[in-house]
Amino acid sequence: MTLLAFDWALFIEKLVLIAVVIFGSLGIALYSTWAERKVAAFMQDRIGPNRAGPLGLLQPFADGAKLIFKEEIIPNSANKWLFILGPGMAMTAALITSAVIPWSSHLEIAGRIMPLQVADVNIGILYIFGAVSLGVYGIMIGGWASNNKFSLLAALRGASQAISYELAMGIALIALLMLTGTLSLKEIVEQQMAPGHYWNIVYQPLGFLIFIVCIFAECNRTPFDLSEAENELNMGYHQEYSSMKLGFYLFAEYVNMFVASAVMATLYFGGYDVPFLNESLLSPNVAALVGIIALMVKIVIFIFIFMWVRWTIPRFRYDQLMELGWKKLLPLALANMLITAIVILWLQHK
Amino acid sequence: MLSSHIMAAAPVAAQHASSYLPIALQIVFAIGFVALMIFVSALLGPKRKTNDKLANFTSGITTHGNARQPMAIKYFLIAILFVLFDVEVIFFYPYAVNFKSLSWTGFYEILLFVGLFLIGFVYIIKKRALKWED
């Protein structure tokens, strides 16, 4: 009967953490839309949203409420169930990716140690890859089910772009894994926190560059937003969508951005590590709080970079995009991997 | 029979499998949230449907057939190539994790693998499989 003996305290602890992570990422996605408009306004010397609340801070809630109360339209010629499944899958994939990210060390409440990570599995990175790949189905199913030529073309573009850049991203990551020797994100962060060890960006600058370019492509962000190229495809794969289903596609992009920023911060920038601070001197709860703040600062910086790039760099042409992914980034990532391997082995056997 | 079999395997597998349970919980939570939101917004919105409104959007011009028709083979080719190369990339992962203990011997063997990878890569480039403009 040991299988039936269920640890309810652990269950509730995880449920609370999951609720905080999911609603937290939705909240950050919500405010990313506001930040995107404010950053765009700043870069184009405009004011941006300023009507709803001070500085337009209530704007995202107004937008969200509007989306919920809009009329739902499912085109006559569309495949009804797949049409609904598409945005649902895009959003679900975005929300489940964050399960393996360590948000901070751990809290101690009444003698109970609560790790601030939903699941510390030893295949963390593979899980993220798997969950991110599910997002492609959301785009592909939605675009195909709409039975609209614009949507179909956009979905095909989005899908083949995402899978093309996944290759270079995978190989860029392997160079990092050679350094860490583990796929667990928690261990990767702890290695970077160890004294005498720098953040992985110091050891893998080229790997990080390849990784961030691929992340931009995976998130369908400018300059890789060909699936939303409005001058060729009207609105892209969510052309026929309205109401909350459209909202899901739009929010999923921002949730993906948030999770991608968290992954980049975790893998290359020390995760919840604060530079030049020995966390073991602080009490566990304070250290956990400082860690969360540190990680959030890094994430916000990355999200800002996403927006900065969007309003700076124009969109690629499709053949340029494919050429960059396959013929430039892939060989570059392979070379980076081999050079990393040689240097590590040479230092090891010197 | 079945339950005794599971019980016997439990001590070995339990600790390993239980670390994945929170992930399952998060997936259930996410699916529940998404389904609820889609359901609620379907209830809340007005429903005034007309035939024109439910037609596909084509920027105002007359529709010519629907989107269920052949598409460029290039996209399919990319998908097939992705499957091939991604499987090869996945083979690097176990190597990378055990990289330090495998030392130089492992490195020479992986060089052979990278060589094979590159032969395939050069082949598809020579075949112009990645060329987008004819």
Q: What is the 3-state secondary structure (H, E, C) of B54-67?
A: CCCCCCCCCCCCCC
Contact B34 A91 (CB under 8 A): yes
pLDDT of residue B5: 43
Band the pLDDT of B14: cuts 50, 70, 90.
Answer: very low
pLDDT band at B4 (very low <50, low <70, confident <90, very high): very low
Query: Is A190 among the domain residues?
Result: yes
The pLDDT of residue A5 is 63
How many domains, in total, are found in chain A?
1
pLDDT of residue A260: 92
What per-residue confidence (pLDDT) applies to A77?
Answer: 83
Average pLDDT of chain A is 87
How far is A275 from A277, CA to CA, in rounded Å?
A: 6
User: Does some domain include residue A31?
Assistant: no
Does the pTM surpass 0.80? The reply is yes
* pLDDT higher at B78 or B15: B78
> For tokens 């109401």, what's the residue?
A243
Q: What is residue B8's predicted lDDT score, i.e. its pLDDT? A: 41
pLDDT at A4: 57
Query: What span, in angstroms and rounded, lies between the C-alpha atoms of B88 and B98?
Result: 17
A64 in a domain, yes or no? Answer: no
The Cα–Cα gap between A135 and B76 comes to 18
Instruction: Kindly state the average pLDDT of the residues A223-239.
Output: 77
Q: What angle do CA A268, A270, A272 make, to 5 degrees?
A: 135
Instruction: Work out the minimum CA distance from A264 to partner chain B, whole angstroms.
Output: 19
For A16, the enclosing helix (H) or strand (E) is helix A8-43
Question: Does residue A6 fall inside a structural domain?
Answer: no
Per-residue confidence band for A304, with pLDDT thresholds at 50, 70 and 90: very high
For A83, name the nearest residue in chain B, comparing CA atoms only: B38
Interface test with A, best of B71, B89, B111 (most A CBs within 10 A): B89
- Nearest Cα neighbor of A166 from B50, B49, B86 is B86
CB within 8 A of A99, min separation 6: which ones? A18, A21, A118, A119, A127, A131, B22, B23, B26, B27
Q: What is the pLDDT, as a whole number, of residue A333?
A: 93
Residues A196 and A182: their CA atoms lie apart, in Å, by 19
Lowest mean pLDDT among A72-81, A202-211, B47-56: B47-56
Range B18-25 average pLDDT: 85
Containing domain of residue A194, as a range?
70-348
- For residue A90, what are the β-bridge partners? none
**A14, part of any domain:** no
Q: Which of B7, B97, B114 sits opposite A334 (nearest CB)?
A: B114
Contact in structure between A318 and A203 (CB atoms under 8 Å): no
Question: Which chain B positions have a beta carbon within 8 Å of A19's beta carbon?
Answer: 29
Report pLDDT for A160.
87
Lowest mean pLDDT among A196-200, A203-207, A332-336: A196-200
Q: What is the pLDDT of residue B9?
A: 41
Q: Which residue has the tokens 């010197």?
A: A350
Q: Is B73 on the interface with A (CB under 8 A)?
A: no
Q: Can you say whether residue A53 is alpha, beta or left, with left for phi > 0 and alpha for psi between -120 and 50 degrees?
A: left
Using alpha carbons, list the distances in angstroms from residue A265 to A58, A130, A347. 28, 19, 27
> Which CATH fold topology does B2-126 show?
Methane Monooxygenase Hydroxylase; Chain G, domain 1 (1.20.58)
Where is pLDDT greater, at A8 or A219? A219
The answer to whether the CB of A210 falls within 8 A of the CB of A172 is yes
Is position A32 within any domain?
no
Mean pLDDT of A14-24: 90
In a domain, A210, yes or no: yes
Whether residue A133 has pLDDT greater than 90: no
Please check whether residue A199 is in contact with residue A142, taking contact to mean a CB–CB distance below 8 angstroms.
no
Burial call A147-185: b when 16+ CB within 10 Å, e when fewer:
bbbbbbbbbbbbbbbbbbbbbbbbbbbbbbbbbbebbbb
- Asked, for residue A261, whether it belongs to a domain, the answer is yes
Which pLDDT score is estimated for B20?
Answer: 84
Using the predicted structure, report yes or no on whether residue B7 has a pLDDT greater than 50. Answer: no
Helix (H, G, I), strand (E, B) or coil at A218: helix
Task: Write out the E strands in chain A.
Answer: 106-109, 112-115
Spell A78-102 as b/e; 16+ CB within 10 A means b: bbeebbbbbbbbbbbbbbbbbbbbb
User: Which of chain A's residues have a Cβ under 8 Å away from the Cβ of B67?
Assistant: 144, 146-149, 151-152
pLDDT, tens digit (0-9, with 9 covering 90-100), for B59-101: 777 777 777 888 888 888 888 888 888 888 888 888 888 888 8
CA distance A222 to A311: 8
On the question of pLDDT at B13 being above 70, the answer is no
